[in-house]
Amino acid sequence: MILVTGATGGLGHQTIDALLTTNPAAEIAALVRDVSKATDLVQRGVDVRKADYFDYPALVQAFQGIDKVLLVSAVAFTDRVRQHLNVIDAAREAGVKHLFYTSIQRSSNFVLSEVTESDLATEAYLKASGLIYTILKNGYYFEGLGYLIGSEVPDTEIRFTAGEGKIAFIKRTELAAATAALLTSEGHDNQEYTLSGSEAYSFHDIARELSTLAGRPIVYKSSELAPYIAHKVASGFPEVVANFFAQWGAATKHGMLAGTDNTVEHLLGRKPTSLREYLKATYFSGR
């Protein structure tokens, strides 16, 4: 039986959706911390189990009878390492054989505070745990682009802290489908995969595509961290959040998210969504 954690969140829920297209619901379990958010999963016959990553005894209980766990990484700024180590230890204690962990892509040595730091600690612990492991180094979601550049088509310019850096964006549903394919096939013991898009795009590329779609010139101007953070704070974001966005730009500038890998393309059996397709569907759907 396969158990997916974070099952009321985006990636976990979409991975279960993908699993249900090929597997009976009786073979799938979902870990949630709020059962009231998982009624659709219950209705579809998924075995919904309740535990918080901080609640070790509940995790051990929830993992009974499970062969494979997909550990969807915890959110930033919430002591991710403690939570991940609890899940790994509880999985081992409950007799789980194989644990998949969702890291962020690492195409350079840039260490993104609150994300890569805790991924590295989790991966090292998992590798030493005795469990069979598979590490999924997930690309940056297309769905996260709006946080960085805004959710409306900009009038004339995009400002971000990415310099000339590129991101091999991937749609979360495609990442979920690829993850489900890995969970249900053999040959992934003690392997690491980069699950990125097949093409990487700079913010100049994003501005160019938006210009084409909007029919007016839109340019990208790289920004230093401080003015970008000040702008985000002025538009209503808490400083810690604005700083976090800016750090994703710094990571991009240093190539952390730029590597392209054809694993997702291979698992989907087609090219993943392109930048133009994503921008058109997201920013121009009503036009």
Q: Across the strands, what pairs with 56?
A: none
Phi/psi for 75 (5° steps) reads -75, 155
| Comparison of 77 and 284: residue with beta carbon closer to ligand NAP | 77
Alpha carbons 277 and 284: distance in angstroms, whole number? 10
Alpha carbons 149 and 278: distance in angstroms, whole number? 14
Instruction: Please report, to the nearest 10 degrees, the dihedral formed by the alpha carbons of residues 165, 167, 168, 173 taken in order.
Output: 180
Alpha carbons 201 and 4: distance in angstroms, whole number? 31
| Comparison of 63 and 140: residue with beta carbon closer to ligand NAP | 140
Query: Between helices 80-94 and 116-127, what is the axis angle to 10°?
Result: 20
| Comparison of 11 and 279: residue with beta carbon closer to ligand NAP | 11
Output the residue with the shortest Cβ distance to ligand NAP.
Answer: 9
Closest separation between CB of residue 97 and ligand NAP, Å?
21
Closest separation between CB of residue 217 and ligand NAP, Å?
29
DSSP state of 35: G
Closest separation between CB of residue 8 and ligand NAP, Å?
4
Residue 124 CB partners (closer than 8 Å, separation 6+): none
| Comparison of 5 and 223: residue with beta carbon closer to ligand NAP | 5
Site of interaction with ligand NAP (CB under 6 A): 6, 8-12, 33-34, 37, 52-54, 72-75, 83, 102, 104, 138, 140-141, 144
Closest separation between CB of residue 156 and ligand NAP, Å?
27
Closest separation between CB of residue 72 and ligand NAP, Å?
5
| Comparison of 74 and 96: residue with beta carbon closer to ligand NAP | 74
The gap from C-alpha 15 to its chain's centroid, in whole angstroms, comes to: 11
Cα 7 to Cα 27, 112, 211, 271, distances in angstroms: 15, 25, 37, 26
Phi/psi for 160 (5° steps) reads -155, 170
Closest separation between CB of residue 201 and ligand NAP, Å?
14
Closest separation between CB of residue 140 and ligand NAP, Å?
4
Alpha carbons 58 and 167: distance in angstroms, whole number? 38
CA angle (244 as vertex; 239, 248 as ends), nearest 5 = 145
| Comparison of 33 and 204: residue with beta carbon closer to ligand NAP | 33
| Comparison of 214 and 277: residue with beta carbon closer to ligand NAP | 277
